[in-house]
Amino acid sequence: MITPELLAQHHITPDEYERIKQLLGREPSLTELGVFSVMWSEHCSYKSSRVHLKRLPTEGACLVQGPGENAGIVDIGDGWCAAFKIESHNHPSFIEPYQGAATGVGGILRDIFTMGARPVAAMNSLRFGPIRDADVNDATENTSAKSIARNRRIMAGVVKGVGDYGNAFGVPTIGGEVLFADCYSFNPLVNAFALGLVRREQIFYGKAEGIGNAVVYVGAKTGRDGIHGATMASAEFDEAALEKRPTVQVGDPFAEKLLLEACLEAMRSGAVTGIQDMGAAGLTCSTCEMGARGGTGVELDLDKVPQRETGMTAYEMLLSESQERMLCVATPGRERQLLEIFERWDLDAAIVGRVTDDQRMRVFHKGEVVVDVPNAALTDEAPLYYRPMAETAAVDATDVTPQVVAAFNARPIKFSTKASLKAAQNRYADLLTELLARPNLASKQWVYRQYDHMVRTNTVVLPGSDAAVIRVKETRRSLAMSLDGNGRYSELNPRAGAALAVAESARNVVCSGAQPLAVTNCLNFANPERPVVMRAFSETIDGISEACRTFDVPVTGGNVSLYNETEGRGIQNTPVIGMLGLIEDAKHITTQWFKDAGDVVLLLGRTNNDLGASELCHALTGQAVGAVPQLDLAFEKNVQQVCLQAIRGGLVKSAHDCADGGLAVALAESCFAHYGATALGATLDLTEHLQASGINDLVDAEARKLALLYAESPSRIVLSATAESVAAIQALAAEANVPCSVLGNVGGDSLQLVAEGETLINATVNRLEEGWRNSLSSYLDRTQARAA
Amino acid sequence: MKFGVVMFPGSNCDHDAYHVISKVIGQPVDFIWHKDTELDGFDAIILPGGFSYGDYMRTGAIARFSPVMTPLKQFAADGGLVIGICNGFQILCEAGLLPGALLRNRGLKYICEHVNLRVEQTDTPYTGCYKEGDVLSVPIAHGEGNYFCDDATLAELERERRVIFRYSEPNGDISDAANPNGSRNNIAGICNRERNVLGMMPHPERASEGALLSKDGRAVFLSMADYLRPLLKPVLNKAA
């Protein structure tokens, strides 16, 4: 008997229950109710977001497989395709950082090799609450001393979880982003990205085809772990959140590695016709989805499923989210061969059912039918919600420059012991040193040093540059990829924030020498039942769509994570964009670092009065507010095309996207030492650029300087080139009406920035680099020591 | 001449080793399955990096019991070349083919980065193409690379010139700062008394091509080919 209490426990509303009875023509059994609850959960059904996701552009010349499969696939030439996708594992990572992050990586890797592709690269986009002692402020729980300490533990656990899983599996973790803000204290974000390579003719799909074909279960035994994980991930957290730890699965990268090799071998052998991994909603999801995609039904006998513990009920087996499991359909007559391949890899495998013609999911347990539901009821017929939305998105349009300037002028002139007296007097250099050491901008070496980013010997651009680049050994081609999102921008202006994220990720792959090809996205939001959140979500979709159309890149899939909210404290709107770019010729691969003394430094684009929501604004005023940077998509595209043409013309020695932190930060980063190359200074005069920019008419002299150095205007790229190449680059820029100013030359051991005759910054690169390089470990290694 | 790369369950640098032998130094190479019980026709065997059997108990502790280890021990006793890289080194220590053990890094963290290695000895089949004192840039990627052995063994290793690679400064100086994991005497690689079995934590196969950051590790494999077929010399010089 289904009681209201039961429904509440399953997060099924009374209306939804009515619909279930209608679809079944009867009352569901408890097991069926469990099946509905996971398949109709936000996490599996996208019931709040589907109506909006339809607006994303999913057409493109390179597209082979768009949204709806386990991963998107694009053609990269020479008969090869790239399967890639990003997925969130936010809720589990808050409850149990290490396993939550590890199984997030495991899940996305399975999504890739389910398509027949061998994973060759992983990245992740991480968001945590503040970790600096300076951030402690007991005024809000997000920044209490207790929270800061917890944030450090969460970050250390997540990074170890990502590393331990990817390292053992043998996929290089080559890039991503790590950012910090108060709102992530109780809602850390872990978005895992993976990319795999597959021959076009060897792509596999999650379809159950061929009436009567055997359905084979392979991988880890089914246990009681992760039951209702999907439902957990579809609800807000309360004080009791940590009691949900049992709903977090435990990862086994070794089993996953065996599963990978066994599945790829099985696919090559031709003994498999369709295959799907068991992720969220485990056996239930794979069973009804494979049937739905194949237009068939699937019949399961749970007694044949390999089980880790005894006495499991049908309910538990169907809802278990035990990791490292796959469901596949065997080619008729080849079942034995298939089982032999799995046995060779020491994996549990068994024939657990067959494909039927009645488009139903039918499950037997101990001889009884325990589930008998039409596939459509669990997939296409799942509820769709047009959630109420606020009339308009709340957009902050205030010009915060005056406050920023006031805050800057109010700063006492520090005499730091580290710096020389001369340097200490240089207020702009002090500010730059401070900004570079802020966790958002600081070196992420503490993180990627714990990831094997070189296994498979394809990583031709190691972590730290604008985009990560891997070669495709079988061809002359390389793939560039970048993950980008800015919660500050998206919170203050959802539509612009989303477009800015797409623009930046495209700029990053362009700076590495690649043509943007396709996009995957991970949309992290708070409670969709709040109209303002739903409006922000809708605006985000439109922002992404507009930008993707401009750059002519299709969205090949992705993931939505809602209810990132704990006790009413929600996250900022955080769309994360994963951009894939193609480099046709290895000699076009470019990095952000200056190469040789004497090279000329150029700057493409304009700097506008974009101090709103900037890192500087946050550093000086304590909050990132105001109008987000102005983005002109057409202009952005021109800037990127000039950069790419120059790179392909062999004119460019380094290219660096200029965004977070502003121009001064970008220039400093180009100077820093990297991978055996020593630091290189530069002597630069920004006057020409200043006068060609929107900030030239700012009356306040201080405002002009701060905006010049730290405004986060998009559509700017720092290039370096030999003197001989400069004219050609300027010609390309002139043709596209893109301002291109010569700033000066690479050389020496100091970064010197002059504007209108005034030396704004004159600091040794080593001094700028020290705090930048040591920042994260100075906060995180101590906690580790204490924890140990 | 034929190279073999052993595939243990959980090996994940097996394809990288195969690629270097077949594509970079252009020699015949086959994979060897961990359940194989004979090694006929091979001249050199590579135990690749990875996490054999998940390394859940102790790194290499399960792999040493793989069926392939029995013929491998005979192969080594007969003078065949056996090189263990990273997890392969850990397995060779567990199997008793090399002395000592690899403990957790002193920083208690997995480390993936390029380090400097000083070539200590050139009279081995693995370092014949190097000059003594050469400093190589080669990546490490491990959580348990902290080489440990008792004082007597350490003295013996040094006395018998069996320390082949040491973590060093870029200029070749041996310092604690240049020691990434706490290994005794900055040891990065050692060989057996007969000098035909080598174990090293750094990954020469990840530093063997111009497309990657360094190709300083390539000469390890060229040296092996060179040792197995002296005629290779002219080709070698071109490649070096």
Using CA atoms, how far residue A337 sits from A213, A258, A269, A330, B150, in Å, is 14, 17, 9, 9, 50
Which residue is it, tokens 């549990």?
Answer: A348
Quickly state the pLDDT bin for B240 (edges 50, 70, 90): very low
pTM confidence score: 0.95
Pick the more confident residue, A230 or B228: B228
Which residue is it, tokens 């973790």?
Answer: A173
Quickly state the pLDDT bin for B173 (edges 50, 70, 90): very high
Tell me the Cα Rg of chain B. Answer: 16
Give the chain A residue nearest B141 (alpha carbons). Answer: A452
Distance separating alpha carbons of residues B127 and A43, to the nearest angstrom: 55
Give pLDDT, residue A226: 77
The tokens for B198 are 């080598």
pLDDT digits (tens, 9 = 90+) for B186-227: 999 999 999 999 999 999 999 999 999 999 999 999 999 999
Instruction: Decide if A37 contacts A10 (C-beta within 8 A).
Output: yes
* Cβ separation B209–A457 shorter than 8 A: yes
Direct distance between the N- and C-terminal alpha carbons of chain B, in angstroms, rounded to an integer: 20
User: In this complex, which of B110, B208, B209 lies closest to A167 when CB atoms are compared?
Assistant: B110
Give pLDDT, residue B236: 45
Distance separating alpha carbons of residues A162 and A124, to the nearest angstrom: 8
Distance separating alpha carbons of residues A481 and A520, to the nearest angstrom: 11
Q: Which stretches does DSSP call E strand in B10-162?
A: 29-33, 44-47, 81-85, 101-103, 111-119, 135-142, 146-148
Distance separating alpha carbons of residues A481 and A470, to the nearest angstrom: 9
B177 inside 8 A of chain A by CB: no
Taking the CA atoms of A238, A243, A246 and A248 in sequence, report the sign of the dihedral they define. positive
Q: Find the Cα–Cα–Cα–Cα dihedral A292, A294, A298, A304, rounded to 10°.
A: -120
Pick the more confident residue, B69 or A239: B69
Active site residues of B: 86, 203, 205
Q: Going by C-beta distance under 8 Å and a sequence separation of 6 or more, which residues neighbour residue A61?
A: none
- Asked whether residue A126 carries a pLDDT value surpassing 60, the answer given is yes
Average pLDDT over residues B15-33: 97
Mutation site for A-interface testing, chosen from B57, B110, B116, B221 by largest number of A Cβ within 10 Å? B110
Q: Strand, helix or coil at B176?
A: coil
From chain A, the residues in CB contact with B16 under 8 A are: 455-457
B112 inside 8 A of chain A by CB: yes
* Cβ separation B54–A167 shorter than 8 A: no
Instruction: Decide if A578 contacts A521 (C-beta within 8 A).
Output: yes
Distance separating alpha carbons of residues A222 and A225, to the nearest angstrom: 8
B65 inside 8 A of chain A by CB: no
- Asked whether residue A625 carries a pLDDT value surpassing 90, the answer given is yes
Instruction: Decide if A136 contacts A110 (C-beta within 8 A).
Output: no
From chain A, the residues in CB contact with B209 under 8 A are: 457
User: In this complex, which of B9, B109, B114 lies closest to A450 when CB atoms are compared?
Assistant: B109
Q: Which stretches does DSSP call E strand in A21-93?
A: 63-65, 72-77, 80-88
Give pLDDT, residue A424: 43
* Cβ separation A457–B205 shorter than 8 A: yes
Instruction: Decide if A124 contacts A265 (C-beta within 8 A).
Output: no
Average pLDDT over residues A28-52: 94
| Lowest mean pLDDT, pick from A91-95, A352-356, B97-101 | A91-95
Distance separating alpha carbons of residues A659 and A710, to the nearest angstrom: 9
Quickly state the pLDDT bin for A230 (edges 50, 70, 90): low
- Which H helix or E strand runs over A704? helix A701-710
Instruction: Decide if A226 contacts A316 (C-beta within 8 A).
Output: no
* Cβ separation B54–A784 shorter than 8 A: no
- Which H helix or E strand runs over A42? helix A42-45
Instruction: Decide if A496 contacts A628 (C-beta within 8 A).
Output: yes
Task: Beginning with the edge strand found earlier in the chain, give each strand of the sheet holding A360-365 in spatial order.
Answer: A272-277, A325-330, A214-219, A349-356, A297-301, A360-365, A368-374
Q: What is the mean pLDDT of chain A?
A: 94
Q: Going by C-beta distance under 8 Å and a sequence separation of 6 or more, which residues neighbour residue A151?
A: A128, A129, A130, A131, A180, A184, A185, A188
Residue A746's beta-bridge partner residues? A682
Q: Strand, helix or coil at B13?
A: coil
Give pLDDT, residue A783: 45
Using CA atoms, how far residue A699 sits from A274, A355, A693, in Å, is 66, 74, 14
Give the chain B residue nearest A448 (alpha carbons). Answer: B112
User: In this complex, which of A455, A471, A788 lies closest to B12 when CB atoms are compared?
Assistant: A455
Direct distance between the N- and C-terminal alpha carbons of chain A, in angstroms, rounded to an integer: 50
Q: How far is A160 from chain B (nearest CA, A)?
A: 9
Quickly state the pLDDT bin for A654 (edges 50, 70, 90): very high
Distance separating alpha carbons of residues A597 and A725, to the nearest angstrom: 15
Q: Strand, helix or coil at A261?
A: helix
Mutual angle of helices A663-671 and A701-710, in 10-degree steps: 40
Residues of A with CB under 8 A from a CB of B: 163-164, 167-170, 252-255, 257-258, 345-346, 448-457, 459-460, 462, 471, 473, 586, 675-676, 784, 788
Mutual angle of helices A427-437 and A663-671, in 10-degree steps: 70
Amino acid making up residue A696? N
B169 inside 8 A of chain A by CB: no
* Cβ separation A460–B211 shorter than 8 A: yes
In this structure, chain B runs to a length of 240
The tokens for A561 are 């994570």
The tokens for B37 are 């019980």
Average pLDDT over residues A18-29: 96
Tell me the helix, strand and coil percentages in chain A, rounded to 5: 40, 25, 35
Mutation site for B-interface testing, chosen from A159, A173, A452 by largest number of B Cβ within 10 Å? A452
User: In this complex, which of A255, A454, A784 lies closest to B112 when CB atoms are compared?
Assistant: A454
Give pLDDT, residue A215: 97
Give the chain A residue nearest B109 (alpha carbons). Answer: A450
- Asked whether residue A329 carries a pLDDT value surpassing 70, the answer given is yes
Amino acid making up residue A278? M
Which residue is it, tokens 């109209």?
Answer: A531
Q: How far is B38 from chain A (nearest CA, A)?
A: 18
Give pLDDT, residue B237: 43
Instruction: Decide if A348 contacts A262 (C-beta within 8 A).
Output: no
A29 DSSP 8-state letter: P
ipTM: 0.95
User: In this complex, which of A164, A676, A784 lies closest to B114 when CB atoms are compared?
Assistant: A676
CB pairs under 8 A between A and B: 89
- Asked whether residue A82 carries a pLDDT value surpassing 50, the answer given is yes
Farthest CA pair distance, chain A: 88
Q: How far is A436 from chain B (nearest CA, A)?
A: 23
Distance separating alpha carbons of residues A619 and B150, to the nearest angstrom: 53
From chain B, the residues in CB contact with A167 under 8 A are: 51, 110, 112, 141, 143
Mutation site for A-interface testing, chosen from B105, B109, B116 by largest number of A Cβ within 10 Å? B109
Quickly state the pLDDT bin for B233 (edges 50, 70, 90): very low
Checking DSSP bridges between strand B44-47 and strand B81-85, what pairing results, if any? parallel
High-pLDDT (> 90) share of chain B, %: 94
User: In this complex, which of B9, B112, B137 lies closest to A258 when CB atoms are compared?
Assistant: B9
Active site residues of A: 43, 89
pLDDT digits (tens, 9 = 90+) for A382-435: 999 999 999 888 899 999 999 999 999 998 766 555 555 554 457 899 999 999
B114 inside 8 A of chain A by CB: yes
Farthest CA pair distance, chain B: 46
pLDDT digits (tens, 9 = 90+) for A175-199: 999 999 999 999 999 999 999 999 9
Give pLDDT, residue A782: 67
B113 inside 8 A of chain A by CB: yes
Distance separating alpha carbons of residues A232 and A147, to the nearest angstrom: 22
